[in-house]
Structure 1
Amino acid sequence: MNQPKLLESTLQAVAFADIYSAEDQTLQLGHLKQETVENDHLEHPTFDQCLLEGMTFLNVDFHRLEMTDVVLKNCTLANCQFEAASLYRVHFIDCKLMGSTLDHAALKDVTFTDCSLALANVNEAKLTQVMFDQSDLTEFNCLASQLSKLVFRQCNLNKADFSETSLKKVDLSTCQFDELRATTFDLVGCTLNETQAAYFASQFLGIIVA
């Protein structure tokens, strides 16, 4: 995963409201801190080389959002819409994205570290070189998506749904789940630990591993 190209010493303090007056709703080289934004709608907002810290977004529609070289630390983005978003070299650190939607999004070189994506939706999306690191993905939905070089490291995937999404070359062995939704076709080429393999053997073949 390529990390964001962001030099904090070059950033200037800005308010989120500045995006409304900015040309093409673009914020560049900005540092946003400790604001709350609720029930808003933005059409094709762009963040370029920005740092967001302690920001709270509730029920905000970021339609066709573009982010390049952005770091988000300790932010809440609950029940937000990121339909058709484009994220490139973005790092989410200790962020809460519960119930948010990234359907039809394109993510490349994106990392989620210590984040919560419980009940989040990333359907019919394209994820390239994306890492979920020690994150909560309970009831996470990733249906009919394209995955390339996707990494899960010590995540909670309980009741996650990967139906119609190929998990080929994806390693789930360090993750935890009691239940995970995927077909045998979806799991071809996926790396599992013994407990996980026994679970799917029971689910699909009725085999009980003693």
Structure 2
Amino acid sequence: MNKKKKMMKIETPRIPSELPVTMRQDIQSNDFLEMEMIQDCEIENSKANKVIFDKIIFRNVTFTETAFTSAELTDVIFEKCDLSNVDFSDAVIHRTEFKDCKMIGINLSGTTLRNILFDNCLADYAAFRFANTKQVIIQDSFLSKADFSYCKLQKFEFSRCTIDQVQFSGTELNGIDLSDCSFNGLGVFVENLKGCIISREQAYIFANLFGLIINE
């Protein structure tokens, strides 16, 4: 039986208890959004660059054909949102939570992530390529075939996640604990596995991946 992990502490979003509620449907490049709760709406066909989101809650919002490239997000919560295929590439995201969100194919490539929580999210095929991360927790989430190639993972925690066929090529996994995650295979370079924490059962999976034969 695996020893229960001690959860890492991260900074949570600093958001006032009461925010004005809006149903915003259009976001433009260089917009500065702050102190809003945006809920029960659809934001579609917004191709906005360098938007700033500060102290914002998105609740039950569907994003369709949307891109927020090079955005800045600070103290933001996404709750029960559909962020599938949203393009956040090259964004800087700090003290932000994604809770109960659908995020299939979300693009977080090249992002800077600090103090981020992904909780109970469906994020299959999510792209994190070249992301620079620190103080990030992903828990109780599905990440099958997600791409974490060439990422810098500092104080990064997976907990009880499905990570089948996740791509970790070029990403150092030293200190990364995968022992309570489920997978049948991963894309990873042997040299990047040094210091990765796995369970006894997972050791057999890695042995098969690299063509090793275990003599019982």
Q: TM-score, normalised by structure 2?
A: 0.91
Does residue 126 of structure 2 align to residue 117 of structure 1? no
Matches within 5 A, 1:58-97: 58-97=64-103
Q: 1:80 to 1:19 in 2, by over 3 A?
A: closer
Q: Aligned partners of 1:168 and 1:84: how far apart in 2?
A: 25
Contact 1:106 1:125 in 2 (8 A): yes
- Aligned AA for 1:86? V
Q: Which of 22, 32, 40 does residue 14 from structure 1 map onto?
A: 22
Specify the SS of the correspondent of 1:201. Answer: helix
Of 108-117 and 23-32, more deviation after overlay is shown by 23-32
Q: Aligned partners of 2:32 and 2:27: how far apart in 1?
A: 6
Q: Aligned partners of 1:39 and 1:177: how far apart in 2?
A: 35
Q: Aligned partners of 1:186 and 1:8: how far apart in 2?
A: 43
Contact 2:80 2:100 in 1 (8 A): yes
Does residue 146 of structure 2 align to residue 140 of structure 1? yes
| Identical-residue share of aligned pairs (%) | 29
Partner deviation per Cα, 1:54-77 (whole Å, 9 max, x = no partner):
000022111111110111100001
Q: Aligned partners of 1:6 and 1:74: how far apart in 2?
A: 18
Contact 1:132 1:153 in 2 (8 A): yes
- Aligned AA for 1:8? S
Contact 1:202 1:208 in 2 (8 A): no
Q: Give the equivalent residue in structure 1 for 2:178.
A: 172
Partner deviation per Cα, 1:143-198 (whole Å, 9 max, x = no partner):
11101000000000001010000011100001000111111111110100011111
Larger helix percent = 1
- The number of equivalent residue pairs is 207
Q: Aligned partners of 1:56 and 1:18: how far apart in 2?
A: 12
Task: Quote how far apart the aligned CAs of 1:15 are.
Answer: 3.2
- Aligned AA for 2:53? F
Q: Please list every run of 5 or more consecutive structure 1 residues that lacks an aligned counterpart in the other structure.
A: none
Does residue 26 of structure 2 align to residue 25 of structure 1? no
Please tell me the root mean square deviation across aligned C-alpha atoms, in Å: 1.5
Q: Which of 188, 191, 203 does residue 197 from structure 2 map onto?
A: 191
Contact 2:148 2:169 in 1 (8 A): yes
Does residue 50 of structure 2 align to residue 41 of structure 1? no
Task: Quote how far apart the aligned CAs of 1:83 are.
Answer: 1.1
